[in-house]
Structure 1
């Protein structure tokens, strides 16, 4: 079973979902694009910077090499020339032009120094800065200075030259005892190769430089001072942002070049000719970056002072065996500034796109959602079984179009199914129902033929109840519907349908017994038979359909579930109707059995309970068929006929509570009687006989004539009085007041009881007798009403106030005088109440039964046949206007049957004319309905009944006009 969830949940319309989906997708795409763009741009920029850093490192290597290569070449050449052995100043100044030309060509080389083994030295310097000129006291146009020192003369000679190497000025000063041999570079110089010193600060030039030196074969050392300013300038030129950093240093953190002059205080004299380390630079970031590199062996992105930096440390080969490190770093936000610009532009573009997409997505979602809303409304209408919804707008979305088509098909199928089941539920005629179902199903499932069979009561034959196929001839159909199908022979059909209880598909060309018009020669077709199962899953029949052509399998797959559900409903309906039919038959049989039992219980009433229903139904049917007033507007439905049928058969069901001795009381003294009293009386007679015998034995055998005459006279009186009483006991004649007086006089006779009358009694009789004084012997009256003759009611005798029939004081009165004094008939008042009370019991019994709504009037109809049209009847005292016509018709039927019955012990059967004459008087007395009595005669219902149930001698001549003249 599918569980349906009716719980309310938080939800939104489809167009909101679609719009949200569009917006979320665009937002996700935009965010993804921003993220990817940002990451890509960052990656690209970082990768580009890595490449730039690599290029800078390569260029730095080239720049560095270009700084010292000319100096290396020059000193290598000088050490092999005469300058290495020049001993005087004049000899040495001959090389000023050559050295000066090199200084002009390579301005980053500030000086060439020649240090001789004896302590002399010769230096040619480039006056590159005003401060240097000032310190050297050089002329204004001086460009170079050549200085020489001799340890022998202790003189220091300086000559200044202009750009064209004209000597401008020469001065000789005492030597300051400067000995180049004490310098590290002199000590470290070797003949085999040139050496390069560690970088140090040239205070006079306020720049960082280094010294390249090499020893000649004679021990003279040639040195060149090389400034690294060009290298720093080269690093500075690679900067894109001011905050970027470039620092070149070695493994000992000695600085060779740096991009920002502000890192170094050139006025600090303590740095004169001293090595510069990273710690001397005014940039803690550089120290932090180097420490980061040493810790992680990688730099990349790092944080300093709350800011993100990106850096790289590249190795730069200085010369073989000497590698420098180039630190390159930049702030990430400056490095990725372009990426941030692109990201910002992408964000703006995405926002603009979202603002454009939202209304567009809303419109599109509305267009998509509108057909779905319409189909949702259709589905809700179908849920309510409302099939009036028209087709919605067409959608180009395939799924929605398919949904629309499926709902249309479902709506049509459910509409057909619901309407068909409704018609099945409302169709009372089973044959019409089966024809209707077959016709509807054949149209709904596009079948070319339908075959409905139901099992007979013995389950041996399948009987056709409806058969149809295309192009069928009516005569052929009629003939085929008379052919039964046996179910006992073994076949594929019987095994599947009746044993396996499942659907079976039969090749139409292999099925025997079908008319030739069902499948023509060469035509393909399949018969599909489904079992009809009742609630106990027993087969009660089969339903078959015929499909033709190549698409028969498609039709079968498409409509199988529909057919199975429908025939399941049909099977249950047929089973239910059969059960109802069987229950009705059982109820009808039970009712008739009860009526028959009541008639059997009281044989003197004959078949009263069985004949009254027949007569009532005939008279009601005559009123139904009559088009005369006042019956023209009267009609009865099948349910009302059924109601009347049950009410008529149960109209005397209350008699089941009426004692038999009352119903069948044929004489006034007849009752439930303990015959011990009769036997006791016989013993009393025997005692009298014994006494007479003894008296006769000892008395004279012949009595006097006077005595004999007196005896005969008195015995004759007794015989005549007994005949009188016996005649009263029969109840055939009306009892006059003088008869009652004579009865009382006769009852005053006394007789001697010599035996105890309390012997042999039941406990109830003993209880009643205990109310009287019993003496033995005792004289008793011949007839009397004794206290023990009065039988009290058992339990509460209070009755429903709506009944005008109230209980008598005693339940029974067995008084002899009282019963013999009954004026008419054999029943006393107590017995008459008991007889009449059967109609009260009928109403009470029937009202306690749970009749369906269309049978709720059964108690009123069955209990109204003793009512009178003037309201003086019983048990409710209803008038004609308060009684249904069927109840009034039953009253006529009950009276007519009672009058004509030959089985009543208390009266003789009447002839037709006598009965009608009595009923005419009853019409005049407003006891029975005059219009129905007229219809009873004019329609011939009375004669129809007489021919069916009366003895021939009762059917005399009837002058109908005589009985209609009232």
Structure 2
């Protein structure tokens, strides 16, 4: 029997993975190195070409202005100036050129008689020392003249403003300088064109550079300028993009004009010791340059040379580029870089690739070791998922496990399906619990049932109140997800057989619907034709049919699906019962609210339909705020619960009026209570008039002259008639009462009449209690015509005292009169304005206090806790001068501020009040604008009220046609507040 050495599966997989990782990593590293090397070589060539172009441009930018300057001097009259004075006339021009071109060291003209006129720029102290210039010298004019008598060598030192500092004649500086012996002079005369010399050491300053020269038009002079090569070295240093790269600028003779090497000196020494340009033989510290120059010479000065050179065992990538500057001899840019320095990035990348490969190998081995042992992992995860399902926690984030083992794969698929079913069931339960509206809930349940049954369409019917008809509540096409409308009701007795049989036994049934059944039920809207159907009755806890689900599909349902659907429908029945209960309670609550509001309106004709119209106007204004997307209302919105809260608050905003006595609300005269007491006063005057008649008769009987007695009687009667007419006029309250009227009323009140009957007989218990506060007056009693008696004073009860207390629990800040009522006759007739006394006016205003007290005591749900604040704030002012709490604008919610405007506008425009005529739109808006300017109402809400057109929409629905006129709202939106109103 063959014995095999068994190795763990993890080890097999790990070794195979290591081999694959090493092979792939090595291959990637080699390919990456070759690719990067080729790219670096190409980048090096491109950089060399780019530096050549940039160097050419830089030299041309340096030599271009110099060439123009030299040619300009050659064509000027300076070439014909033979005296110092004539030549100095051109010094300013040369100064401007030197100032604008910092690379030009000097400009000069050499004449055929040996004269020279030169202007030098002193750029540093070394140059000043060479020219023996004093401090502050920026320019030096050097003039050498030869005449018959003597030779003159003049130096003129000039500052930066071109002012002469000093002049030195017969200076020994360049005393023997003869331009005709200089190379630039000789080359220009010989070439008869513009020339550029080889680099050399300038005669005037110790620098290496080149000279540009050209012969003047008459041929008697040569104009020239000196260009320093120092700036070229700085340029080469700046172009060194790779460390270790050697750059040099070489002329055709092999002279190195400049280089980027640190410490490079542009001056060498000839064998005789004289300064000259540095040659390649002088560059012992950079032998690669000498090799490149030899390569250049052997290649015949070609335009571009590229090569890889071995220099002392070191590989160099070299290139030579020809620079065509001008019509003079070209220059050459040579570049060299060691292979190791160029390929440093490639080597580094290769090392990184190797390290990454090793890191991947090290990191992957443990992973592969773990993965190799994960064959049993699907079973472990399925066990864990089964445990979560046992706890009714089918996590939706868990993916469907798939395996190459068919049994495990099928188990995973079935487990996932079970999880989806449980998750859908739990989701349906949450939807039922969390969806407050019935229609969305119906759609959710119908969608879930169709998805679980894999049905094509479904219809939910609910029974009518008599239980004889099925009313289609929701119909959904699962294929498109669209709701289908237009289905007709079904009479249960005439329904298709499948539906009747299911409803007869209240058990689910499956079967087929014929084409006739499809046409009868209206299911042709689904475009399905005859097919399979399932009918699931909905029966409540009282075993009464409340509805039925009809599911249409292309194949019969499985028993398991029917069982699950039956459970879902039982849940739906419970939801229907709950929703119906909530709906009925909400309708009952709403009917109570409207009952109270309508009772208040019916209680007094003076309020008209106020409580009915305010909710509608409030809804319109709140909707306008929700529809506004800019300004102070851009973030305002109301959800369904807040709309319900607003609805209740609007209907109950005046519920406190139910406690206001009707006679106070309807009080039309000052003496009116439950009846108008002016009739008592009239009767007293009648008694006084009878006494006047009696007194007249007694006087005549006593012997007084009849005519005199009757005249006195008539005067008394006239006075009594006038006084009663005055009292009656005061009772109407139509005009304000001044001090004179009050004094006259007091004088009339002093009249007396005789009461002979006990005024405590036949009165109520409460009135007798009030009268007994003072002793009874013996009969007959003489009483004043108008009196404020003790029984007229009604004291407050304890609950009223609590409302008026400074620390009351509702936060009321309102001044409360001492008495509940004061029905004193003189007190009421003396009311200065209107018909209401101070106590009665407070009673009117107390309705808002009672509104808040009543609403605060109701156990509103959490989302209705703001109803007292919304309903009770419509008499507050934005400046805090309102009542009952004296709230300011920032202390009020937006809905409370809206309620104030709605209440005012409805009261102004109401046309069903018996005591006044409804105002027109323009009058109402004008009054409200003044109230806004007086900080009575909120300006933002008022602007919304106008801009949204709510006032106009309300008028078209609730106001008479003659009240509706044009309103120019622009004047109220743009006008500034009236200072007098604000004050």
Q: Structure 1 length as normaliser, TM-score?
A: 0.56
Shift of 1:886: 1.4
Cα shift at 1:500: 2.8
> Which residue in the other structure is 2:872 paired with?
863
1:849 and 2:851 matched: no
CA deviation digits over 1:246-265, x for unaligned, max 9? xxxxxxxxxxxxxxxxxxxx
Partner in structure 2 of residue 532 of structure 1: 538
Within the alignment, does 1:380 sit opposite 2:388 as a pair?
yes
How do residues 536-935 of structure 1 correspond to structure 2 at under 5 angstroms?
536-549=542-555, 552=556, 555-672=557-674, 678=680, 685=687, 688=690, 692=694, 695=697, 699=701, 704-773=706-775, 774-796=777-799, 797-799=801-803, 800-801=808-809, 802-904=811-913, 907-935=916-944
* SS of aligned partner of 2:798: coil
The structure 2 residue matched to 1:462, chosen from 447, 470, 489, is: 470
Q: In terms of mean alpha carbon deviation, does 856-865 or 918-927 score higher?
A: 918-927
1:485 aligns with 2:494: no
1:466-524 CA distances to partner (integer Å, 9 max, x unpaired)? 445687998xx857x33322123376445544443221223334862346797988x8x
**Equivalent-residue separation in structure 2 for 1:916 and 1:719 (angstroms):** 46
Report what 1:4 is aligned to: none
- The answer as to whether partners of 1:732 and 1:906 remain within 8 angstroms in 2 is no
Is the 8 Å Cα contact of residues 533 and 571 (structure 1) preserved in structure 2?
yes
d(CA) in 2 for partners of 1:680, 1:741: 20
1:445 paired to 2:453: yes
* Residue-by-residue CA offset, 1:793-826 (whole Å, 9 max, x unaligned): 2334222251112542211111112112222222
1:272-296: CA deviations, max 9, x gaps? xxxxxxxxxxxxxxxxxxxxxxxxx
Q: What residue in structure 2 maps to residue 269 of structure 1?
A: none
- Following the alignment from structure 2 to structure 1, what is the Cα–Cα distance between the partners of residues 726 and 965? 35
Q: Which deviates more, 369-378 or 711-720?
A: 369-378
TM-fit CA distance, 1:734: 2.0
Q: What are the Cα deviations for residues 402-426 of structure 1, in whole angstroms up to 9, with x where unaligned? A: 8756543321101122234434545
Q: Is the 8 A contact 1:753 1:780 kept in 2?
A: yes
Is the 2:901–2:942 Cα contact (8 Å) retained in structure 1? Answer: yes
Match of 2:418 in 1: 410
Question: What is the deviation of 1:615?
Answer: 1.7
Q: Which structure has the greater CA radius of gyration?
A: 1
After TM superposition, give the deviation of residue 831 of structure 1 in Å.
1.5
Secondary structure, aligned partner of 2:758: coil
Residues 115-134 of structure 1 aligned to structure 2 (within 5 Å) = none
* Distance verdict in 2 for CA 1:903–1:390, change over 3 Å: closer
Query: What CA deviation, in whole Å up to 9, does each residue of 1:826-845 have, x standing for no partner?
Result: 22122222221211111121
In structure 1, distance between residues paired with 2:833 and 2:916: 11
Q: Contact (CA 8 Å) 2:696, 2:709: kept in 1 or not?
A: no
Distance 1:730 1:908, change over 3 A: farther
Q: Deviations over 1:517-562 (max 9, x none)?
A: 97988x8x4321111234544322211223434xx2xx33121222
Render the CA deviation track for 1:567-590: whole Å, top value 9, x for unaligned: 222233333333333332222222
Secondary structure of 1:541's match?
strand
CA distance in 1, matches of 2:704, 2:834: 47
| Distance (Å, rounded) in 1 between the aligned partners of 2:398 and 2:788 | 87
Gaps of at least 5 residues in structure 1 are 1-364
1:901 deviates by 3.0
| Partner residue in 1 for 2:958 | 949
2:496, 2:517 within 8 Å by CA — same for their partners in 1?
Answer: no
Secondary structure of the structure 2 residue equivalent to 1:488 = helix
Alpha carbons of structure 1 residues 728 and 518: separation in structure 2 relative to 1, 3 Å: closer
Distance 1:759 1:865 in 2: 46
Aligned partner of 2:518 in structure 1 is: 513
Asked whether the 8 Å contact 2:876–2:900 carries over to 1, the reply is: yes
Match of 1:546, SS state, is strand
Relative distance call for 1:914 and 1:517 in structure 2 (3 A) is: closer
How many Å separate the matches in 1 of 2:684 and 2:825? 19
The answer to whether the 8 A contact 1:508-1:519 is kept is no
In structure 1, distance between residues paired with 2:505 and 2:655: 49
* Partner SS for 2:887: coil
Instruction: Tell me: CA distance 1:467–1:918, structure 2 relative to 1, closer, same or farther (3 Å).
Output: closer
Using a 3 Å threshold, how does the CA distance of structure 1 residues 423 and 703 change in structure 2: closer, same or farther? farther
CA distance in 2, matches of 1:709, 1:688: 15
Query: SS of the counterpart of 1:735?
Result: coil
Partner-residue secondary structure (3-state), 2:593: helix
Distance in 1 (CA, whole Å) between partners of 2:795 and 2:657 is: 21
2-side partners of 1:469 and 1:709: how far apart? 104
Give distance in 2, aligned partners of 1:875 and 1:947.
33
Alpha carbons 2:499, 2:535 under 8 Å: kept: no
8 Å CA contact 2:793–2:822 kept in 1: the answer is yes
Q: Which residue of 2 aligns with 1:500?
A: 505
May I ask how many residue pairs the two structures share in their alignment?
Answer: 592
For the Cα contact (< 8 Å) 1:498–1:531, is it kept in 2? Answer: yes
For 1:442 and 1:502, locate their aligned partners in 2 and report how far apart those are by CA, in whole Å.
19
CA distance in 2, matches of 1:639, 1:440: 27
Q: Distance in 1 between matches of 2:648 and 2:952?
A: 24
Q: Secondary structure at the match of 1:463?
A: strand
In the alignment, is the contact (CA less than 8 A) between 1:598 and 1:609 conserved in 2?
yes
Cα drift, residue 715 of structure 1: 2.1
Residue 888 of structure 1, CA deviation: 1.0
- SS of the residue corresponding to residue 512 of structure 1 reads helix
Task: Say whether the 8 Å CA contact 2:477–2:484 is kept in structure 1.
Answer: no
Please say if residues 512 and 533 of structure 2, whose CA atoms lie closer than 8 Å, have aligned partners that are also in contact.
yes
CA 1:366–1:432 in 2, change beyond 3 Å: closer, same or farther?
Answer: closer
Matched position secondary structure for 2:446: helix
Closer, same or farther: CA 643–691 of 1 in aligned 2, 3 Å: same
Where does residue 213 of structure 1 map in the other structure? none
Residue deviations 1:289-334, cap 9 Å, x none?
Answer: xxxxxxxxxxxxxxxxxxxxxxxxxxxxxxxxxxxxxxxxxxxxxx
User: How far, CA to CA, are the matches of 2:712 and 2:681 in structure 1?
Assistant: 29
Q: Is the 8 A contact 1:811 1:830 kept in 2?
A: yes
CA–CA separation in structure 2 for the residues paired with 1:946 and 1:674: 37
Partners of 1:441 and 1:600 in 2: how far apart?
51
Once the two structures are TM-superposed, the CA of residue 929 in structure 1 deviates from its matched residue by 0.7
Q: CA deviation at 1:439?
A: 3.2
- 2:447–2:478 CA contact under 8 A, matched in 1: no
